[in-house]
Amino acid sequence: MMLPNSLLQRLASWCPWLLRDERKQPVKVLVTGAAGQIGYAIVAMIARGLMLGPDQPVVLHMLDLPKSAETLNGVRMELIDAALPLLRGVVATSDEAEAFRGVNFAVLIGGSPRREGMQRKDLIAKNVPIYQSQASALQQHAAPNCKVLVVANPANTNALVLKEFAPAVPAKNITCLTRLDHNRALGQISEKLGVHVADVRNAIVWGNHSSTQFPDARHATARTQHGEKPVVELVADEKWLKEEFVSVVQQRGEAVIKARKQSSSLSAASAACDHMRDWILGTPKGTWVSMGVYSDGSYGVPEGIFYSFPVTCDKGEWSIVQGLEVDDFARSKMELSANELDEERSMAYEFVSS
Ligand SMILES: NC(=O)c1ccc[n+]([C@@H]2O[C@H](COP(=O)([O-])OP(=O)(O)OC[C@H]3O[C@@H](n4cnc5c(N)ncnc54)[C@H](O)[C@@H]3O)[C@@H](O)[C@H]2O)c1
Ligand SMILES: O=C(O)C[C@H](O)C(=O)O
């Protein structure tokens, strides 16, 4: 006998164990920097199925520094107290080998934060040894085909260090987060047009997760009561699209830091879930998203850097959307960000230890 959906939903809310899906085996998800701000926000999102789907059980591996062990243990206690039906185990550790052991997915948020007055070079100097060490742990201990998202800044260059020092891990399995910038771009367009953000799609963020990124609305569309239309046509304000829109999205991270006195946490955690969900479960038909991936030379972007491109995902693989028109304005913005990433790569090599 088939039960109606409404009854099934009510049963699930009363006694989730009754309808627990026993068919899917739990997967292991690593979160580094789990005692930090983004870590605290993301672990519950993952254990509620927002990253890998509402029927996918998970075992959470959480890594943080020994000095944060007590805080990390507090996060572990809260996860137990939340009685989350999809959560099948929690490992809280400051040991990299234990943290990476057998993980299928790794969200790398841990790193040395940018302090006031710090130059980008100082940030790179502090993070290169961390990502060099985690590259070894990834290569030696993670499950084959482990999929990695780097969130910690400088995200693109940390991803590059990871790739360089984990040569056995396919480059396609390492990505970095620019989905937050992508979502910020959708948010700004939605505000400007007075349409719901879910009705806006196909913005692009090109380049580095930094203020040189190029948020591009030239191919975006929005659904209105008159159907789906190009955002360029609906906004009808080239100056806004080339100036205000670009600079608001580029500077949004700084604006949040100024307002909150700490960097974006819930939006970063949410974007990291969006990134992994779309990568693993696929992008909706006709929709692309922005992901930082190892450049294959598409759109004239040099190989050898992690660069944010428009991608579609299917069956756990991403592919760069090809054939979009790039005008002179876009080309100059895209080059600026590629040049910055090239400089970051040179700086990173200065701090590599043999
Ligand atoms: N890519 C993006 O869109 C984006 C957005 C927001 C923030 N970020 C970056 O994400 C990172 C985390 O932000 P947060 O607000 O959670 O910072 P946070 O300082 O609150 O947390 C960072 C955590 O990482 C831990 N950590 C440091 N070194 C570690 C190591 N070697 N191994 C494991 N853990 C380690 C720290 O102890 C801390 O608990 C920062 O680098 C931030 O700049 C990126
Ligand atoms: O942590 C930062 O410097 C800002 C962060 O990357 C953000 O985009 O919100």
Q: Does 169 share its domain with 244?
A: no
User: Is 346 part of any domain?
Assistant: yes
Q: Give yes or no for a cis peptide into 154 (omega within 30° of 0).
A: yes
Chain centroid to CA 41: 14
Are residue 133 and residue 257 in the same domain, yes or no?
Answer: no
3-state SS class at 65: coil
Binding site membership of 280 for ligand 1 (Cβ less than 6 Å): no
Residues 227 and 274 in one domain: yes
> For residue 26, how many other CB atoms are within 10 A of its CB?
15
Whether residue 18 is contained in a domain is answered as: no
pLDDT of residue 114: 78
Residues 144 and 210 in one domain: no
Query: How many angstroms does the Cα of residue 240 sit away from the middle of ligand 1?
Result: 33
- Is 115 assigned to a binding site? no
Work out how many domains the chain is built from and give that number.
2
Nearest CA among 186, 118, 157, 90 for reference residue 306? 157
**Which residue is catalytic, options 182, 209, 226, 275?**
209
Of 136, 152, 176, the residue that ends a domain is 176
Can you say how many angstroms the Cα of residue 218 is from the centroid of all Cα atoms in its chain?
23
Percentages (nearest 5) of helix, strand, coil residues in the chain: 50, 20, 35
Which among 177, 127, 170 is positioned nearest to 147, based on CA atoms? 170
Q: Is 14 part of any domain?
A: no
Tokens of 332: 């100059």
Domain membership of residue 4 (yes or no) is no
> Domain for residue 2, yes or no?
no
Q: Same domain, yes or no, for 182 and 36? A: no
CA of 217 to the centre of ligand 1 (A): 29
Same domain, residue pair 164 and 264: no
Same domain, 172 and 298: no
Q: Quick one: pLDDT at residue 11?
A: 58
19 inside domain: no
Last residue of a domain, one of 142, 176, 210: 176
The pLDDT assigned to 23 comes to: 76
Q: What is the torsion angle, in degrees rounded to the nearest 10, for the CA atoms of residue 216, residue 287, residue 43 and residue 137? A: -80
| CATH number assigned to the domain comprising residue 45 | 3.40.50.720
Q: Say yes or no: 161 and 224 in one domain.
A: no
What is the reported pLDDT for 116?
72
313 and 196 within one domain: yes
Strands 214-216 and 306-314, bridge-based pairing: unpaired
Structural tokens at position 146: 């482990």
Å from CA of 315 to ligand 2 middle: 30
Residue segments in the chain with a per-residue pLDDT below the cut of 50: 1
- Residue 59 three-state SS: strand
Instruction: Specify the DSSP element, H or E, that contains 234.
Output: helix 231-235
Quick check: is 89 in a domain?
yes
Place of tokens 């360029």: 232
**Cα→Cα distances 313→155, 167, 282, 318, Å:** 21, 23, 5, 4
Ligand 2 atom, smallest distance to 254 CA: 4
209 is a catalytic site residue: yes
Residues 161 and 208 placed together within one structural domain of the fold? no
**10 Å Cβ neighbour count for 142?**
24
Is residue 8 domain-resident? no
Residue 147 domain boundaries: 25-176
Choose one of 208, 247, 263 to mutate for the ligand 2 pocket test, by most ligand atoms within 8 angstroms of C-beta.
263
For the domain that residue 329 is a member of, what is the CATH number?
3.90.110.10
Residues 6+ apart with CB under 8 A from 228: 221, 222
Nearest bound ligand to the CA of residue 112: 1
Question: Is 166 marked within a binding site?
Answer: no
Kindly give the interhelix angle for 266-281 and 37-47, rounded to the nearest 10 degrees.
40
Q: Cα(343) to centroid of ligand 1, in Å? A: 23
Backbone angles phi, psi at 21, to 5 degrees: -80, 110
Amino acid present at 218: R
Q: Is the CB of 68 under 6 A from ligand 1?
A: yes
pLDDT of amino acid 15: 57
Check whether residue 56 and residue 80 sit in a common domain.
yes
The residue out of 152, 176, 200 marking a domain boundary is 176
Asked if 134 and 263 sit in the same domain, the reply is no
> Taking Cα atoms as reference points, which of 63, 77, 41, 35 lies closest to residue 137?
63
3-state secondary structure of 27: strand
Indicate the top mutation candidate among 31, 64, 124, 132 to test ligand 1's pocket, ranked by most ligand atoms within 8 A of CB: 64
Cβ pair 172, 317 in contact under 8 A: yes
Residue 159: CB atoms within 10 Å:
28
Phi, psi of 175 (to 5 degrees): -140, 165
